[in-house]
Amino acid sequence: MANILAVGIATLDIINSVAAYPAEDDEVRAIDQRVCRGGNATNTLTVLSQLGHRGHWAGVMVEEPDGRHIEADLERHRIDRSAVLRLAQGKVPTSYITHNLANGSRTIIHYRDLPEYPFAEFKKLALGRFHWLHFEGRNVAETRQMLAWAAAQAPGVTRSLEIEKERDGIDALFPLADVLLFSRPFARGRGHDEALSLLRALHPRYPAATLVCAWGAAGAWALDRHGEHHSPAFAPPRPVDTLGAGDTFNAGLIDALLQRQDLGTALAQACRLAGRKCGYQGLDFINQGAQK
């Protein structure tokens, strides 16, 4: 069991399931609606908690009804919130999600009125008690300070960075992380039509890092000092819900690497776990048949 700190956001997700994605200006009836907690960092911690680890979240929370809903879910998953910055005013990030039952896809509209987690709060944390530090690639200037501080104060603790989308100056974060987790949209935005193309382009600049890129139904690729690795995807018999699959992939990879599995094995575990998640609604799926 490891202590894992994740820095990022928690959201309130309002998910409307529809038979098929509507055309512009259509009016359709939702078949189902659910309200749950989301956010990349806290999603990853939720899965890691089910895998037996102790999750710690560093983020910003506000005292309001939606915030209490988020806190209750984090408490249910035994995620420590002592590093959270609490504010008296604002609105928790809220995602309005259209879930297409025909193919499992999801479309997200996001709203927030809350500042990002600042370096001044991160600097107060005793980083040496953690076994892994995971960061969302957002709030670039502050995150850069956090990564540099972590490298100096806890050099033996692995630092992973999720790069989901393009942000101004985000390349400045790459040299400060040990594990770089790239998304398919990010790769395509950089002009790469396949995962390995992105990883090969970046590897000469960051030869000591582990570079990873998941590519949906094609599986995932990784590149480190020992070479290139690929795992196929493990699709469920029937896709149910892809929301959180990428966060689940990250959790599976972190779990495997903490167990000192080789990168190829870790990549396969991450793909297998993400595939199983797609066969269940939500993230409480580990005890419903998913295996580590």
pLDDT (0 to 100) of residue 289: 53
33 in a structural domain: no
pLDDT (0 to 100) of residue 292: 39
Contact 19, 53 (CB under 8 A): no
Show the domain range for 208.
Answer: 3-10+39-88+114-279
292 in a structural domain: no
The pLDDT-based confidence of 291 (bands split at 50, 70, 90) is very low
d(C-alpha 165, C-alpha 11), whole Å: 17
Among 28-37, 97-106, 226-235, whose mean pLDDT is lowest? 97-106
287 in a structural domain: no
Query: Six-digit token pair at 225?
Result: 């000092």
Number of domains the chain contains: 1
134 in a structural domain: yes
pLDDT (0 to 100) of residue 290: 40
**What does the pLDDT look like over 75-92, one tens digit per residue?**
999 999 999 999 999 999
Of 216, 220, 217, 218, the residue nearest 256 (C-alpha): 220
275 in a structural domain: yes
27 in a structural domain: no
**What does the pLDDT look like over 24-61, one tens digit per residue?**
999 999 999 999 899 999 999 999 999 999 999 999 99
Of 263, 286, 287, the residue nearest 274 (C-alpha): 286
CATH of the domain at 184: 3.40.1190.20
148 in a structural domain: yes
223 CB neighbour count, 10 Å cutoff:
25
